Structure 1
Amino acid sequence: MSTRGTVLHSHGPGEQLKAEEVELTAGPGETLVEMRLAAVTALDRSTLAGKQPSVPFVPGSEGAGVVLSSDVVDAGTAVVVRGEGVGVTRPGVWGRYAVVPDGAVHRLPSSLEPAAALALLTPALTAHTAVRRVAEILKGETVVVTGVTSLVGRMCAQVARSAGAARVVGLVSMEASVDSTTALVDQIVRVDGLGQVGRELQWCDAAIDTMGGPVTGGVLGHIAPGGRIAVLGYNAGEFTTIDLHQLVGRDLRVLPVNLQRTALAADAVGQALADIAPASWRAEYDVVPADRAGDALDRQAGRVLLDLTALR
């Protein structure tokens, strides 16, 4: 299927993006998407600042729209587009329409608005990687999530639930408010700045640690033999003390969550969105008309989305 539409073209690093009309044709293994929104990501900024695969080049590595034609997704399906080199090694999604590989198309859960899905995608993939890829949470397990009041912490709790965890326990600092967290976990346990965990914390099979510091060592004392802890962050400190007798004697595993070195599976985007969809999230983002993409690129703070429907 072919169509004509306006795209944003980059003519090289430092050049202003230009709106130009082109014809797009989807070939075998490709999907034609009517784009509605696109995220402005760090990857987009680095691609535009460096050597681009072609000139002119259509940037945009993440977006949301509706399928017009595809061999793998029904026409009219709301989707998120990400991966397979889109916006990096092949034309991206900053246009009214985009032709992308079938593997870059991921169904959007009906309970998530497109803008919210794009704004939440990065933390959702972080939680997905920690819970499903690194910790490999299994059905029926008890899971502790430290720092559960943060956005990534809450998502880790929800992904653990979606992965089949029978019990999810949230570990929080002594002064943290838990109003946004109670619906996601079965129990809240407090931990002090020295890593001393409340006595009410029982044994768990695995922990997702977003806090680090002394909390990591404190949580290890509550992991059952053969269990593991996936270390995702270190807001509470970069150093911890590990009881080696405990580590060796109970056959525990300490697993670093390195997002740069962990390749995403083909279904990671769709799985991550499906995992967080049952919960309620407050997504923070700004929407900028696509013809002001240059302004959006200049903004370094906050999540910025481009309204691609502004392109005619």
Structure 2
Amino acid sequence: MRAVICNSFNGIGALEFGEIADPVPGPGQVLVDVHAAAVSFMDTLIVSGRYQLKPVLPFVPGSDAAGIVLAVGEGVQRVRVGDRVACSHWYGGMAERMVTPEWGVTKLPDSVSFEIGSTVRYAYGTAHYALTRAQLQPGETVFVSGAAGGVGMAAVNLASQQGATVIAGTSSAAKGDAAREQGAAHTIDYSYEPVRSRLLELTEGRGVDVYFDNVGGALFSTVSRVMAWGGRILPIGFTGGEIPSLAMNLPLMKNYSVMGCYWGAWTERQPQESHLADEQLFAAVGQGTLRPQVSEVLPLPSFAEALQRLERREVMGRIVLRAKQGPDAPA
């Protein structure tokens, strides 16, 4: 099969596109004929050796995909050959076929295309898990940094659907407009606006109830000082390149919490709860309640362009790689 191949942890430029042996599902695993694979910022970190997980070399990058089940291993009960599914694992998605554990596979509603389906599980799963951990309540204020990225847009979409007032933090006016289309009530362009004073202005001095942080770095340091009493900080990722530290007198004085939100590890530890959440999310996407955003669909051999655009922060929503040509359900 054709696949993107990572032979060393030397970044996007060292990746190759070529032929490798077809994967074979073992017990509890599912083999999927991949039609579409979504690209994530996590993929750029993994191929550079900068993620907390390092697969054994060589490997195929790509955490999210969608396609049709070709075969199932012993003990698999949730899906069968011929099912349309979305699937995800730590790696393996940027190929014509992918093997994933059964807990990483969810049936795709007929109304959801492979391209859209490939973007849901990681981005919306992460956002849903984090906001559930925070016990988000209607009427609370949520500040989402990196709000125009895949996970950020999912958080804006979900939080607004749950009745929260969402403030989207972005690095450009165009990205702010994209976040508004997903339900953000306000935007802050932190490329030039004073984040601290704007947040206090928009919350009438109360501060932020829930901080959904995709960026880290200096922005985290700023927002950690404008949290509301009893607030919750959700560290999701560090796309700014710097893992921040927190002065512990801040949560002490405001009685706020920092809540870890490592969705990938949670799905492995709590597969039943994860599967129920997946079913709810895909049903909402199928009904049009949630609106995953795909900015562009590129052919699989254009993987380097997609990953490089992510690294340069040029993407709004998700970029998808098409592994198969042919008819599909409507987006």
State if a TM-score over 0.5 links the two structures: yes
Q: What does 1:150-299 align with in structure 2 at a 5 Å threshold? A: 150-151=148-149, 152-161=151-160, 165-172=162-169, 176=173, 178-185=176-183, 187-188=185-186, 190=188, 192-193=193-194, 195-196=196-197, 197-202=199-204, 203=206, 205-210=209-214, 213=218, 216-217=221-222, 220-224=225-229, 226-232=230-236, 233=238, 244=249, 247-255=251-259, 263-265=265-267, 266=271, 267=274, 270=278, 274=282, 277=285, 278-279=290-291, 281-288=293-300, 293=301, 296=303
Quick check: which one's helix share is greater? Answer: 2
User: Partners in 2 of 1:10 and 1:174 — Cα distance?
Assistant: 30
1:107 corresponds to: 107
* TM-score when normalising by structure 2: 0.59
CA 44–264 in structure 1, closer or farther in 2 if over 3 Å, else same? farther
Name the counterpart of 2:321. 305
Alpha-carbon distance change, 72 to 214 in structure 1, aligned in 2, over 3 angstroms: closer
Shift in Å, 1:296: 4.2
Give the whole-Å Cα distance in 1 for the aligned partners of 2:78 and 2:194.
51
Tell me, in whole angstroms, the C-alpha distance in 1 between the residues paired with 2:141 and 2:202: 14
Deviation, 1:37, is 3.1
CA–CA separation in structure 2 for the residues paired with 1:11 and 1:176: 36
TM-score normalised over the length of structure 1: 0.62
- The 1:72–1:207 alpha-carbon spacing in structure 2 relative to 1, beyond 3 Å, is same
**Which residue of structure 2 lines up, in the alignment, with residue 3 of structure 1?**
none
Measure the CA separation in 2 of the matches of 1:105 and 1:79. Answer: 6
* Residue pair 2:3, 2:19 contacting (<8 A) in 1 also: yes
Q: 1:241, 1:11 → 2: CA distance?
A: 38
Residue 145 (str. 1) matches residue 143 (str. 2): yes
The percentage of counterpart residues that share the same residue type is: 19
In 1, distance between residues paired with 2:245 and 2:88? Answer: 37
Partners of 1:284 and 1:229 in 2: CA distance: 31
> Partners in 2 of 1:144 and 1:240 — Cα distance?
21
**Residue 94 (str. 1) matches residue 92 (str. 2):** no
1:79 Cα shift? Answer: 0.8
Give how far 1:86 is off: 6.6
Task: Give the CA deviation at 1:254.
Answer: 3.6
Query: Matched residues in 2 for 1:183 and 1:9: separation?
Result: 35
RMSD: 5.0
Following the alignment from structure 1 to structure 2, what is the Cα–Cα distance between the partners of residues 275 and 76? 20
Distance 1:31 1:169, change over 3 A: closer
Contact 1:13 1:50 (C-alpha < 8 Å) held by counterparts? no
Distance 1:234 1:44 in 2: 15
Following superposition of structure 1 onto structure 2, how do residues 109-124 of structure 1 map, counting pairs within 5 Å? 109-110=109-110, 112-118=112-118, 123-124=123-124
Please say which structure displays the higher CA radius of gyration: 1
**Contact 1:206–1:229 (CA under 8 A) maintained in structure 2:** yes
Q: Tell me if structure 1 keeps the 8 A contact 2:235–2:259.
A: yes
> Contact conserved, 1:201 with 1:222, CA < 8 A, in 2?
no
Q: Which residue of 2 aligns with 1:4?
A: none
Per-residue Cα deviation, 1:209-235 (whole angstroms, up to 9, x for no partner): 3465367545644513x2212244575
Structure 2 distance, partners of 1:93, 1:130, is 26
Structure with larger RCO (C-alpha < 8 A, sep 6+): 2
Q: Distance in 1 between matches of 2:38 and 2:187?
A: 36
> In 1, distance between residues paired with 2:297 and 2:281?
17
> Unaligned regions of 5+ residues in structure 1, if any?
1-6
Q: In 2, are the aligned partners of 1:159 and 1:276 still within 8 Å (CA)?
A: no
Q: What number of residue pairs does the alignment pair up? A: 279
User: Structure 1's 251 and 193: CA in aligned 2 closer, same or farther, altered over 3 A?
Assistant: same
For structure 2, the 5+ residue unaligned runs are 9-15, 310-318, 327-331
